[in-house]
Structure 1
Amino acid sequence: MEHKQASATDGGGRQRARQRRHPGGRRHQALVKMSDEEYLQIAARAAVAGVSVPRLLVEAALAGDQQAASERRALVAEFLAVRRLLAAVSNNVNQLAMVANATGEVPAQLLATLHAVARVTARLEAATDELGGPVGER
Structure 2
Amino acid sequence: MAGGRVHRHEVKVSPEEEARLTALAERHRITVPRLLVEAALSEGGAGAVPAARRELFMELAALQRLVGTVAVTVDGLARHAATTGQVRAEAAEALARARDVIVRIDRFLAGMAGRGSG
Aligned match for 1:82, one of 63, 75, 94: 63
Look up the match of 1:13.
none
Larger relative contact order (Cα-Cα within 8 Å, sequence gap ≥ 6): 1
1:117 aligns with 2:93: no
CA change 1:133–1:95 in 2 (3 A) is farther
Structure with greater helix percent = 2
Deviations 1:74-117 (A, max 9, x none): 12211110000100100001100110011101111111101110
Q: Deviations over 1:6-51 (max 9, x none)?
A: xxxxxxxxxxxxxxxxx9xxxxxxxxxxxxxxxxxxxxxxxxxxxx
Alignment RMSD: 2.3
After superposition, residues 10-25 of structure 1 pair within 5 angstroms as none
Percent of aligned pairs sharing the same letter: 29
C-alpha change, 1:91 and 1:62, in structure 2 (3 Å) is closer
Structure 2 stretches of 5 or more lacking a match?
Answer: 1-15, 17-36
TM-score by length of 1: 0.48
Q: With the length of structure 2 as denominator, give the TM-score of the two structures.
A: 0.55
Structure 1 residues not aligned, in runs of 5+: 1-22, 24-60
